[in-house]
Amino acid sequence: MTTELFSLAGRTALITGSSRGLGNAIAGGYAAAGAAVIINGTDPARVAAAAQALRGKGHVVHEAPFDVTDEAAVCAAFARLDAEGIAVDILVNNAGIQLRKPLVELSVAEWKRVIDTNLTSAFLIGREAARRMIKRGKGGKIINIGSLMSDVARATVAPYTAAKGGIKMLTRSMAAEWAEHDIQANAIGPGYMATEMNKALIENPAFDAWVKGRTPSRRWGRPEELVGAAIFLASAASGYVNGQIIYVDGGMLAVL
């Protein structure tokens, strides 16, 4: 009973930004749970390498290199999947960038680049995936990757924070419109995870000490520590969970 509840066997999962970082960890966890996975990223060579690494473990892996901010590229990617008979049962909107700069120094172009990559992409890809899930009539799963910044702010990461706050509310909007089609839309809020995006922070002794002091677990999170929540939200175990955000943050948001 338990293993079936959390099995992803027979499902296909598209994870955006999965050639590295958190997305790649989730893709590996989904493949190990039985899903076929679709690796996405902007760099075809990096996507191919990530896909090959998972195939080397015996998993079924497809490649879909496209720019998540480009509507035409998103639609073309889904058209290719349609043509290949690949139906997306699980979508993880993970792709995101960070830009650390004071608001007063930020350009509109910089603002838009973060919002487009971290928020608008989730709308674009969520819309294409949901259109097909609704038409197929077999339900689906959408997991949006939020952040601590879905709920709290830190100076110098305003566009990222605005986007991640939007991710939380877009998740609820998706739940409001798509739950009746048996599509569960939820989010995961990673805490300070040891990823390439946070390398500069990890290597900054003062910031590293702050994260460790501010986090009850007294350490940075590891990307693979998101896999449990990601599998839960992608599996039958979360069939009545809608519009929620699960924080995997070592307890940081729970304490002062």
Q: Which of 103, 39, 27, 92 is CA-nearest to residue 65? A: 39
| Residue 194 tokens, joined | 């040891």
Hey, CA dihedral for 23, 26, 28, 33, is it positive or negative? Answer: negative
3-state secondary structure of 249: coil
Q: Nearer to ligand GCO by C-beta: 134 or 194? A: 194
Is 135 among the residues that bind ligand GCO (CB under 6 A)?
no
- Are the C-beta atoms of residues 37 and 25 closer than 8 Å to each other? no
The nearer residue to ligand GCO, 116 or 128, going by C-beta atoms, is: 116
User: According to CB under 6 A, which residues from 84 to 103 bind ligand GCO?
Assistant: 98, 100
Where is 144: in which H helix or E strand? strand 140-145
Active-site residue, 160 included: yes
Distance (Å) of CA 84 to CA 10, 81, 138? 16, 5, 19
Closest to ligand GCO by CB, 77 or 188: 188
Report the nearest approach of ligand GCO to the CB of residue 165 (Å): 12
Among 131, 136, 154, 219, binds ligand GCO (CB under 6 A): 154
To ligand GCO, the closest distance from the beta carbon of 162 in angstroms equals: 12
Query: Count of residues binding ligand GCO (CB under 6 A)?
Result: 14
Catalytic residue among 30, 160, 192, 247: 160
Site string for ligand GCO, 182-221 (x = CB under 6 A): --------xxx----xx--x--------------------
23 binds ligand GCO, rule: CB under 6 A: no
Q: Is there a contact between 27 and 13 (Cβ–Cβ < 8 Å)?
A: yes
Residue type, 49: A
- What are phi and psi for residue 140, nearest 5 degrees? 175, 175
The upper half-sphere exposure of residue 108, i.e. CA atoms within 13 Å in the direction of its Cβ, equals 0
Q: Give Dmax (Cα) for the chain.
A: 55
Here's the x/- map for ligand GCO, 113-132, by CB under 6 A: it reads as: --------------------
Which of 6, 4, 1 shows the shortest CA–CA distance to 228?
A: 6
Question: Is 157 a binder of ligand GCO (CB under 6 A)?
Answer: yes
Our CB check for ligand GCO shows the closer of 142 and 193 to be 193
Q: Which residue in 91, 114, 148, 188 binds ligand GCO (CB under 6 A)?
A: 148
On whether the CB atoms of residues 85 and 56 are closer than 8 A, the answer is no
Q: Tell me how far, at minimum, the Cβ of 248 lies from ligand GCO, in Å.
A: 9
- Tell me the catalytic residues: 160
* Interface residues toward ligand GCO, by CB under 6 A: 98, 100, 147-149, 154, 157, 160, 190-192, 197-198, 201
